[in-house]
Structure 1
């Protein structure tokens, strides 16, 4: 039987194209409403997609002219209204406190019953300037990201799995012997734990990092997923899963994909990024994804216009993937790690007190 192929869908703004909001069926002032976000989530979950992702930036974004809501908050909003699909917000490491990031993602994992992830990213220099922080670029920014992620992982382990005892008779909530201090000082920031949130249900929420944000030393101890625009990328033995980023536009009843993109470009030309870009029929897109499924571990989908391309994806591409048995819904109650085939990590501190991981 073919192995299920993880499909992640980004649901930020109107779509990846900067003019997508002009083609949206949603009025600009309604783009940020919970009802619209919930509609995408319900559709994606019903169709068996693996996870939703939520882009973010502290800077103005031409794709979202009415503004931007915090990605972690959007994911948290959906935690209680979904039951199987994973939730991976982008949260930058170059202008956020590591302790607060770790607490936010741990809280998201608790509220979603183990379906949280985190796309750890660097930020452009202007983002650091906006909050009066030192500007980090190049390898310095990538090293900072690795330091923040490794610190967050240590903080998630700072509570052992059985640290919470809730002993009503003695009024004791936690076994303090099963809490462990994390002490990190990079010279730029310092953290002293334990975290203020118990260990997440997954032990370690899934961490994704863009390939260009990884330090030269690689992803060891940093990423569970590497997001890349290189469809020829391969996973190394024991390394993180490789997920290809794909921007897509599909033929609709009204116009072929090429005409749709040309009309969008006439309003606001889309710069070429590092993602794969694909356009054509929904059936052709299914064949493209089936070919990728034999070479990489998953795909993160970015629709040109969410309102139009998600509808075509549901009508044409996803049925073909079901026939090929590549699209299988995450079971209700499963964690994101288990859906992706990732083991639950052993707590690094558990042997100190002799407790099981």
Structure 2
């Protein structure tokens, strides 16, 4: 009974977040109907719609708890469920050389992105969000890392918005870049898998390069997504030092270093690797994770005033662009090296 009473104040904000998320789905379907493709996916549309609404209308206090619940608790639940979508088998399929190349690309890109953020004067956590978003999988990585390091909503929304725009440009320019560089189909696939943000975008980017490019690009992208777990865990460990200890007694507390949703993510990944997760549950869990992420993105948008975001615009654009350029450069080198082995 107490839990029900405590949850009641969150309902208005939760319903508002759900409404914005529903609007994003409608807008994405409108894109598909009018243009035949969705250039901006529903996750980005959710955060943009919420941001525009928040800029022209500030929700009253009654919505605050529900918006916070949606942006944090639902997001953590979504990240936890992502663990069921990955397994060790996916990593092994790539082979040792390509696996090392993917790990190296992600690590180098994150390091360069954080360094660029500091040089350009961005807040520390925003620099981490942009670096991880570019290096792994765009808005999904940003959302997961934001939950692990307790990033500010405005920083998260800004990082998602700017990386989403450049992500579309990557999909459009990648086939041209592969042609100019005279890359083979396997190398083109590796380049696509290492640079684009989402798995569906791999199909769009690698499609013009051939079937082999699509197959290799998809595999590389899936393995790259697996890097999200270790990166989120390490980020959580680093920022855990700034959190208060679990109790006054100097004892070890696992939740201080790894939040519960990360432990659930790792547990589900291990269960999937051991084939303990029923295949009938995979699709519903993926759908649930996607919907929870969508509502969380809408809530994040509702916490952002666009006028404040635009103040940081030029610096963020510079860091995102340079970081993405660094990713592309490293990816080209890795693609050539792996395809010559």
Give me the TM-score of the superposition, normalised by structure 2: 0.25
Greater strand proportion? 1
Greater helix proportion? 2
Query: RCO (CA 8 Å, sep 6+): is it higher in 1 or 2?
Result: 2
